[in-house]
Structure 1
Amino acid sequence: MAMPPATVLIADDHPLFRAALADLIRRTPEFELVGAVEALDPALSLLAERPCDLALLDLRMPGMTDLSVLSALRAKHPDTKLALISGNLDSEAVSGGLKNGIVGFLPKSFDPPVILAAIRLILSGAIYVPHELAALASEPESSPSAASSDEPSTLTEREREILTMMVAGASHKEIARSLGLAEITIKLHAQRIVKKLGVRNRAAAIAKAVRDQLVDPTI
């Protein structure tokens, strides 16, 4: 006897991505789309009417004010697996999401076959987090004082290496190629560098590195 299709709910406020993901689910016979909505509140309404096997929730959408809402959602619908989808590659969101009950994190940049493979893994009972995000999410967090911009020594050896190449003018793609890493990994390291240096973006991190002589670009 054939297994019934797994039911999937999508909540994402980006209309093009939501429509594309909904179409992908509809065209996959082993899945059934329960609904595709633009915010957390209508998602909650749908779940109240019909609990589903998996809810794919946008990290940045109306109603998703804090990752703690995931714990409440998990408590109310314990049989529904929760996974975050996001265009923001944020290892802290992965860590926070896992602590609040998610069992998956899917970057929106993934190709459709990878998204489907990840969903299948989640529905099979596994926790799915991309390797690059999992590695960074599992790193121990520095204390606030240690992570301040006055303590550049908190940069790891790899982060210093990447910052040096950034100062030398290399793009994320060029750094990834040089180090034999995925570009997404370099982007995630760059995010952590920006945070540790207490600046707003990559350009400011480079400027601070040059001003404070944090790296030697001639190496």
Structure 2
Amino acid sequence: MPHTARILIVDDHPVFRKGLAHLINEERDMTICGEAEDVDAARTAFEELEPDMVIIDITLKDKSGLELLSEIQSLRPKIPALIVSMHDESMYAERAFRLGAMGYIMKGEMSDTIIQAIRQVLSGSIYASQTMVSRMVGRLSRKADPASHPVETLSDRELEVFQLMGKGFQRKEIADLLGVSAKTVGSYRELIKKKLNVNTSGELMREAVEWVSRR
């Protein structure tokens, strides 16, 4: 009897989670063995259900999905993991791959593309969009080491703030988009300045604009 792949979904958006579960359960060779909306529930489900694959939303209620991915990889190295996200892949895809993810896909993709990504990851292959592949190949051809850039030292939230700055958003706009106070955004900006070794807000803005333009 053909093996049916058992998949665990970790996503804090009930509508998306249920929709994805329905999509997967319609396939004859894969099924959802469990669902979780936060890190604690995901950790428990992962240990109890022993899934063949995990699908993780990059933004969870209590912790970054990338942190959960790192935990899961420490428990079961090489577990097939697909990251799903509403965030621009230029921000997080490379981080996800370095942490052990085998695929990264945007939530807005067509159903057939999502199933293709799941199958590819289950088969042991890497899944990435053509845009992401082209970007990585371009960096390799220039012999660039993306991990050497100081931006790679930023936390996930700091990276969000940095990218939004580079796209021209002001402090209040960033605060509204991220659901935090303008004061908190200011604190993130100061942390980013220290990590990037820049002294003024003007220098920080130039760094952000240049970084975004290279993505």
TM-score, with length taken from structure 2: 0.64
Tell me which residue corresponds to 2:17: 18
Cα distance change of structure 1 residues 144 and 62 upon mapping to structure 2, 3 Å threshold: same
1 CA distance for matches of 2:65 and 2:9?
18
Alpha carbons 1:94, 1:137 under 8 Å: kept: no
Deviations 1:91-120 (A, max 9, x none): 231111111111111210111111111111
CA distance in 2, matches of 1:143, 1:31: 39
Distance in 1, Cα, partners of 2:65 & 2:73: 14
- Looking at structure 2, the residues matched to 120 and 130 of structure 1 have their Cα atoms a distance apart, in angstroms, of 14
Asked whether the equivalents of residues 91 and 137 of structure 1 are also in contact (C-alpha less than 8 Å), the reply is no
1:14-68 deviations in whole A, cap 9, x for unaligned? 1111111011011111111111221222111111111111100000012433734
Counterparts of 2:65 and 2:51 in 1: how far apart (Å)? 22
Q: Rate the CA distance shift 1:86–1:199 in 2: closer, same or farther, 3 A.
A: same
* Structure 2: distance between partners of 1:21 and 1:79: 23
Of 199, 208, 214, the match for 2:165: 199
Q: What is residue 195 of structure 2 aligned with on the other side?
A: none
| Structure 1, unaligned runs of 5 or more | 146-190, 215-219
Residue of structure 2 in register with 1:102 after alignment = 101
Report what 1:82 is aligned to: 81
Which structure's CA Rg is the greater one?
1
Residue of structure 1 in register with 2:56 after alignment? 57
Runs (4+) of structure 1 exceeding 6 A deviation are none
Query: TM (normalized to structure 1)?
Result: 0.62
The aligned residue for residue 125 of structure 1 is 124
- How many residue pairs get aligned? The number is 158
CA contact 2:56–2:65 (8 Å) conserved in 1: no
* Structure-2 residue corresponding to 1:172: none
Which protein is richer in helix relative to its size? 2
Gaps of 5+ in 2: 152-158, 171-201, 210-215
| Percent of matched pairs sharing the same residue | 25
Q: Which residue of 2 aligns with 1:9?
A: 8
Work out whether residues 8 and 33 of structure 1, in 8 Å CA contact, stay in contact via their aligned partners in 2: yes
Residue 33 (structure 2) pairs with residue 67 (structure 1): no
Q: How far apart in 1 are the matches of 2:94 and 2:104?
A: 10
Question: Offset at 1:144?
Answer: 4.8
Write the letter of the residue equivalent to 1:55: V
2:69·2:99 contact (CA, 8 Å) conserved in 1? yes
3-state SS, counterpart of residue 128 of structure 2: coil
Deviation at 1:74, TM superposition (A): 0.8
Q: Which residue in the other structure is 1:46 paired with? A: 45
Tell me the SS of whatever aligns to 1:121: helix
For the residue of structure 1 that corresponds to 2:165, the secondary structure is coil
Worse-matched range after superposition: 97-106 or 66-75: 66-75
Question: Separation in 2 of the partners of 1:118 and 1:200?
Answer: 30
